[in-house]
Amino acid sequence: MSEMVPPEVRPKPAVPAKPAHVVPSSAHTPHGPGAGGPGSGGSTLLGYIGIDTIIEQMRKKTMKTGFDFNIMVVGHSGLGKSTLVNTLFKSQVSRKSAGWSRDEKIPKTVEIKSVSHVIEEGGVKMKLTIIDTPGFGDQINNNNCWEPIEKYINEQYEKFLKEEVNIARKKRIPDTRVHCCLYFISPTGHSLRQLDIEFMKHLSRVVNLIPVIAKSDTLTPDEKTDFKQRVRKELEICGIEFYPQKEFDEDTEDKSDNDKIREAMPFAVVGSDKEYQVNSKRVLGRKSPWGVVEVENPNHCEFSLLRDFLIRSHLQDLKEVTHNIHYETYRAKRLNDNGGYIYLAMSDHCMLGILCFPVEFVPSAQ
Amino acid sequence: MSEMVPPEVRPKPAVPAKPAHVVPSSAHTPHGPGAGGPGSGGSTLLGYIGIDTIIEQMRKKTMKTGFDFNIMVVGHSGLGKSTLVNTLFKSQVSRKSAGWSRDEKIPKTVEIKSVSHVIEEGGVKMKLTIIDTPGFGDQINNNNCWEPIEKYINEQYEKFLKEEVNIARKKRIPDTRVHCCLYFISPTGHSLRQLDIEFMKHLSRVVNLIPVIAKSDTLTPDEKTDFKQRVRKELEICGIEFYPQKEFDEDTEDKSDNDKIREAMPFAVVGSDKEYQVNSKRVLGRKSPWGVVEVENPNHCEFSLLRDFLIRSHLQDLKEVTHNIHYETYRAKRLNDNGGYIYLAMSDHCMLGILCFPVEFVPSAQ
């Protein structure tokens, strides 16, 4: 039992157990008279509440549910797309590793092929889907060869939209939307080709587009610097905005972090899923008679910059921008284009349904 | 530069930098022949990727955006509702602290009044809204006095639904939905009253209902145990399922954790926003001539159990169950009831719109 001592009433202690504070928000009373007068404005807390445990609660939920990440690779054959994704995810996750042969014939049209794996690290499960686009840029006439790719991306938005408007919805809508599209630029040292420009022009509007310079071990450091600068300039002239777009920076911290990344892009990368012994360390690399290119050595290439950016700092943002910007843009366009109607031609047992949305007039003053 | 040593190709090392593994998922090829044959099944990773950094990325996002939490308190006047929320959030956050006087007259009908504060702790910002229901149970005739409360809860779902079906949606829909309803039971020591049962019967279907035994310092330990047992039994007989409902346990770990909580509920609490000196420590308590009730002392009352449950372990789950279960139930009912139509009578500048959703026939085999 507690020992009795003279009470000391101290409703607002000068030094709470953990410094924290409470600020009155805009009080609102839906059915009654005005609340939240001067009241409790800006007082300190009487002790620790535990609000910050929300982070730990979210961590636990994520550890249980895992998450989806869908990455698309585009570029003509021989640019090392499969090897790069294997290098990114440190395992044989690419389509070519998963049953397709290297000797597979180049398809006559652009195909879309996807393969999924579950990768677990530190207790976190990621369902990784790699979407490959064999045949892209490999034809004599490559007119409109971005169309099947754009179509695939939009089909995933459409799938999500249909799930979202269902009456009985799934607790978690399966997310097949492309969170990131890596576009492989040939390390020509010259300039972008017309196809590169056309593809990026079309796709940068519908997906998080990240251009990379493929097989950059063919470029000397000076050539690399020059080529990167030239590519950035050409992209700017053509009005192509790659991810992370300036307009979606949320605050000055975002802007400052992303400016550094934008200035360093497109990353000149080298991929490898082979290990070599260098200075008594095992490293992923490509060995030639004149040396070993260490793919994770920032002095050799920018693979590690791409990996850190893509996976370790911006993965969640790629998912959020896909949902909040690209999917929302698709959804709004879809509803507006159809005068608010969506015809749902669903599987076997579903009626053809109609969806019509309100046309809303937002007053210009708002 | 790297020192040249004989290469040692080791694509699948026995011991990767951090033990992790990759498991092939169900491969799918939307436009092409079968992928993901035996391929890369269950191989270990060639090193650390960084998948688990998603947790840190989510933490950073939450630190920036903060989160909403809306808690409703219901029970007749004098049961210490305002004091309890002040105790929970260690500050003067309740309606009564925010401009209303203690001498305020009891309203003639049930009113709904809300007040919001932003509380920050450990860098995490929570916009806390406390929804009070003065007048509940205080009339001579309390027939249907849960109706305005249920109406308010449903209005918040409706608000969210309207935002959700808009063509131009907000990036984050403001969440005014009630995440938790604390129902205060009188510490009679006898049994639940008819009003308690009727209220909980109606409300447990639409909101996360958490019954608590108010002002439990009037009960001796034996009386408390007896009363809790009686209340649990009555709730069971009446088919009232409070939060956390068994049917929403997601796995055996959830079930085991929640079983312990369910067996200890309803928590018999005491609130206080006054501090006293007990054993040279300052504690929140209530002082009487025969001693100090320490509200955070688990030997004195179950306040700390309620606080830990509500804030430190289940806050995120309360938000998710609100969204995934209660809101979804409302949404599905709303669409079904209206034969798929929603008439949106929106503010000044909006047209009266129509929403109709597909009626879907799910084959019984699925």
Q: CB B28 to CB A116 under 8 A?
A: yes
Dihedral of alpha carbons B69, B72, B77, B81, sign: negative
Q: Is the pLDDT of residue A365 over 50?
A: no
**B28 and chain A in contact, CB less than 8 A:** yes
- SS3 at position A267: strand
Residue B106's pLDDT is 78
d(CA B74, CA B184): 6
Using an 8 Å CB-CB cutoff, list chain B residues near A20: 119-122
Residue B339's pLDDT is 61
Residue A178's pLDDT is 98
Residues of chain B with pLDDT > 70, as a percent, come to 78
Nearest CA in chain A to B317: A57
What does the pLDDT look like over B190-234, one tens digit per residue? 989 999 999 999 999 999 999 999 999 999 999 999 999 999 999
Residue A25's pLDDT is 63
For all residues of chain B together, what is the average pLDDT? 83
Residue B364's pLDDT is 38
C-alpha pair distances (Å), B78 with each of A47, A101, B35, B94, B324: 25, 76, 67, 14, 34
Residue from A303, A74, A65, A308 nearest A208 by CA:
A74
What does the pLDDT look like over B27-82, one tens digit per residue? 444 443 333 333 334 556 778 999 999 999 999 999 999 999 999 999 999 999 99
Q: Residue A311 corresponds to which tokens in the numbers above?
A: 């996976």
Q: Is the pLDDT of residue A362 over 60?
A: no
Residue B94's pLDDT is 86
For all residues of chain A together, what is the average pLDDT? 83
Closest CB from A27, A155, A297 relative to B115: A27
Q: CB B39 to CB A98 under 8 A?
A: yes
Angle at A71 between CA A149 and CA A226, to 5 degrees: 85
Question: Between residues 29 and 88 of chain B, which touch chain A (CB distance below 8 Å)?
Answer: 29-32, 34-40, 43-55, 57-59, 61-64, 67, 88
Q: CB B124 to CB A280 under 8 A?
A: no
Q: What is the mean pLDDT of residues A328-353?
A: 62
Residue B103's pLDDT is 62
Residue A73's pLDDT is 97
- The predicted complex's ipTM stands at 0.81
Q: Say which range, A54-68, B83-97, B109-123, has the weakest mean pLDDT.
A: B83-97
Closest CB from B28, B273, B312 relative to A46: B273
Q: Is the pLDDT of residue B263 over 50?
A: yes
CA-based nearest distance B302→chain A, Å: 16
Hey, of A54, A162, A330, which one would you mutate to test binding to chain B, going by the most B CBs within 10 A of its CB? A54
Using an 8 Å CB-CB cutoff, list chain A residues near B4: 278, 291-292
d(CA A184, CA A269): 10
What does the pLDDT look like over A300-320, one tens digit per residue? 999 999 999 999 999 999 999
Q: Is the pLDDT of residue A38 over 80?
A: no
Is B240 within 8 Å of B201 (Cβ atoms)? yes
Nearest CA in chain B to A88: B49
What does the pLDDT look like over B247-260, one tens digit per residue? 999 999 999 999 99
**A191 and chain B in contact, CB less than 8 A:** no
Q: How far is CA B236 from the centre of its chain?
A: 21
Residue B351's pLDDT is 34
Q: Say which range, A5-19, A331-345, B24-38, B83-97, has the weakest mean pLDDT.
A: A5-19
Residue B340's pLDDT is 53
Q: CB B311 to CB A50 under 8 A?
A: yes
Using an 8 Å CB-CB cutoff, list chain A residues near B48: 90, 121
CA-based nearest distance A262→chain B, Å: 19
What does the pLDDT look like over B176-185, one tens digit per residue? 999 999 999 9
Residue B19's pLDDT is 40
Q: Is the pLDDT of residue A244 over 60?
A: yes
Closest CB from A6, A121, A358 relative to B18: A121
Q: CB B31 to CB A335 under 8 A?
A: no
Q: Say which range, A85-99, A351-365, B225-239, B338-352, has the weakest mean pLDDT.
A: A351-365
Dihedral of alpha carbons B8, B14, B20, B21, sign: positive
d(CA B181, CA B81): 12
What does the pLDDT look like over B94-153, one tens digit per residue? 877 755 555 667 788 889 999 999 999 999 999 999 999 998 998 888 888 999 999 999
Residue B96's pLDDT is 74
Closest CB from A52, A129, A346 relative to B122: A52
What does the pLDDT look like over A125-147, one tens digit per residue? 999 999 999 989 988 888 889 99
Nearest CA in chain A to B321: A171
Nearest CA in chain A to B31: A112
Q: Is the pLDDT of residue A177 over 80?
A: yes
**A274 and chain B in contact, CB less than 8 A:** yes
Give chain B's length.
366
Residue from B222, B221, B225, B214 nearest B188 by CA:
B214
Q: Is the pLDDT of residue A115 over 60?
A: yes
Q: What is the mean pLDDT of residues B86-91?
A: 92
Q: Tell which wins on pLDDT, A103 or A61.
A: A61
Q: Residue A366 corresponds to which tokens in the numbers above?
A: 């708002």
**A106 and chain B in contact, CB less than 8 A:** no
d(CA B185, CA B178): 20
d(CA A322, CA A248): 12
What does the pLDDT look like over A96-113, one tens digit per residue? 775 555 566 778 888 999
Q: Tell which wins on pLDDT, A329 or B92.
A: A329
Q: CB B64 to CB A356 under 8 A?
A: no
**B116 and chain A in contact, CB less than 8 A:** yes
Residues of chain A with pLDDT > 70, as a percent, come to 78
CA-based nearest distance B227→chain A, Å: 23
Q: CB B119 to CB A51 under 8 A?
A: yes
Q: Is the pLDDT of residue A156 over 50?
A: yes
Hey, of A43, A57, A258, A364, which one would you mutate to test binding to chain B, going by the most B CBs within 10 A of its CB? A57
Question: Between residues 302 and 321 of chain B, which touch chain A (CB distance below 8 Å)?
Answer: 307-308, 311-317, 320
